[in-house]
Amino acid sequence: MKQGVLMQYFEWYLPSDPHLYQKVKADAQHLFDIGVTALWLPPAFKGIGGTQDVGYGVYDLYDLGEFYQKGTVPTKYGTKDEYLQAIQALQQVGIQVYGDIVLNHKMGADGYEDVKASEVNQHDTYDIERQNEWIQVPTLFTFPNRHQKYSDFTWDWSCFDGIDYDAKTKRHATFLFQDKTWDSQVDNENGNYDYLMGADLDFSNHRVVSELKRWGEWYLDTTHIDGFRLDAVKHINASFYQEWLYHMRQYTHQELFTVGEYWHGDVQKLLQYLTEVNYSLSLFDVPLHYHLYEASRSFGQYDMSQIFNNTLVQKACMNAVTFVDNHDTQPQQGLQSWVLDWFKPLAYALILLRKDGYPCIFYGDYYGIEKPSLSGQNQVIDRLLYLRQYYAYGQQNDYFYDRHIIGWTREAYGLACIMTNQNGGQLYMYVGQQYQNQIFYDYLENVNETVTIDDKGYGLFTVQDGSVSVYIPKK
């Protein structure tokens, strides 16, 4: 059985033509062959930007590329039929599919409503700056071109607790609707970080929660996906997703693996959220991403022995999805924190060849990015995926004693990984007495010299400057 590897199969600047779903379908067998076991597909529903919407400006959750809305039938990634065919193609070769779920907000309303609201300080949303004024807001969602197919639910202002625009005065600010309160189980940045963008869903409204459960049932029945990636969970009442996931799992009688995006560099924030949701889902290891980012840009001064300190994979490995970069961290994005190319092989070795964490590889790292033009590193990632699939098993022995040269071994099939962010050197590491007198070589071909394992099961392994080498037994 393969060790789990998730792949995020999109980046922010993908062109809308050709459709991504067509590429997914054609790529399914290749992805399985290289060792990918699950694919995270982008948000599938119609967004405010039509074919230019990456998927996070959600308009209609029931439109998966089926109705003429926002100037188009297909989404940026294709039609509903293409989406379903892509999912089926992946599952037929043995790859699970996770849907990207965006429930925090809605955008692109079909009509405006007059409502009383208070303007709040954007840096402290508990601080009311202007109280109870009439504003005009885009909060009426009737989806006229869907003609109530699948759902007759109409979203009005009562379904939301705030918004960022008053059409009457053409003023951009953060508004809290009268008789509403921000959700309490959210991140405390900005005082309370319930509000993120668009028309912010009110998760204390029972009608809203019931509709989202009905939509979840419909989405699972329609797509037959295997799990979820949840967007912006730090802005949504923690109790909602615990309840919603329980309902979806009871409905399907399936595990429905779920990973949430709680974007914070402090691991204590992530651990607190996991406690609040009773560890019912996993989270992306944002602290580890920032460690990788800093290490890649520190001109060799980063202490590599501390690379896993205060990360989710260290503190709660069973709930950690490790990653190097994603669509939000790529260049020209709001959370830009791109791990430099020279460090990418080291970073991917750190998430793919160790026993803890569920690693996620990024489309942009594998295939490259169009804007700005960045080359993919599929050759080295393919090799690391091969090593994960066939060699990264068994007892793990860590050698994290030096500030710059670190390494570890896996005993089951013989693997020794050594890397440095500075000058090259050597580590004397134990791979197991069963390998005595066997010859190990660097599968990544960064070091030509081989290593002969001594009678105690140790070898002296070499790494070049700013590089990584992974040694395995010669056949």
H or E element in which residue 367 lies = helix 363-367
Whole-angstrom distance, CA of residue 403 vs CA of residue 102: 41
- Number of other CB atoms surrounding residue 235 within 10 Å: 24
Instruction: Name residue, tokens 């991917």.
Output: 348
pLDDT (0 to 100) of residue 460? 98
State the catalytic residues: 231, 261
Q: Single out the residue of 38, 19, 42, 18 nearest to residue 93, CA to CA.
A: 38
pLDDT (0 to 100) of residue 366? 98
Whole-angstrom distance, CA of residue 271 vs CA of residue 202: 25
Whole-angstrom distance, CA of residue 381 vs CA of residue 416: 17
For 194-237, the three-class secondary structure string (H helix, E strand, C coil) is: CCCCCEEECCCCHHHHHHHHHHHHHHHHHHCCCEEEECCHHHCC
Kindly tell me the burial class for residue 306, based on how many C-beta atoms sit within 10 Å of its own C-beta (0-12, 13-18, 19 or more): middle
Instruction: Name residue, tokens 């989270």.
Output: 283
Instruction: Name residue, tokens 């090593």.
Output: 387
pLDDT tens digit string along 180-222? 999 999 999 999 999 999 999 999 999 999 999 999 999 999 9
pLDDT (0 to 100) of residue 380? 98
For 145-167, the three-class secondary structure string (H helix, E strand, C coil) is: CCCCCCCCCCECHHHEEEEEEEC
pLDDT (0 to 100) of residue 2? 85
pLDDT (0 to 100) of residue 446? 98
- Number of other CB atoms surrounding residue 420 within 10 Å: 24
pTM: 0.97
pLDDT in tens, the chain (475 residues): 689 999 999 999 999 888 999 999 999 999 999 999 999 999 999 999 999 999 999 999 999 999 999 999 999 999 999 999 999 999 999 999 999 999 999 999 999 999 999 999 999 999 999 998 999 999 999 999 999 999 999 999 999 999 999 999 999 999 999 999 999 999 999 999 999 999 999 999 999 999 999 999 999 999 999 999 999 999 999 999 999 999 999 999 999 999 999 999 999 999 999 999 999 999 999 999 999 999 999 999 999 999 999 999 999 999 999 999 999 999 999 999 999 999 999 999 999 999 999 999 999 999 999 888 899 999 999 999 999 999 999 999 999 999 999 999 999 999 999 999 999 999 999 999 999 999 999 999 999 999 999 999 999 999 999 999 999 999 8
pLDDT tens digit string along 120-145? 999 999 999 999 899 999 999 999 99
pLDDT (0 to 100) of residue 371? 85
pLDDT (0 to 100) of residue 182? 96
Whole-angstrom distance, CA of residue 204 vs CA of residue 159: 9
pLDDT (0 to 100) of residue 475? 85
Do 295 and 343 meet the contact criterion of CB atoms below 8 Å apart?
A: yes
Q: For residue 95, give the DSSP letter.
A: -
Q: For residue 345, give the DSSP letter.
A: H
Whole-angstrom distance, CA of residue 383 vs CA of residue 149: 47
pLDDT (0 to 100) of residue 340? 97
Q: 95 φ, ψ to 5°?
A: -105, 130
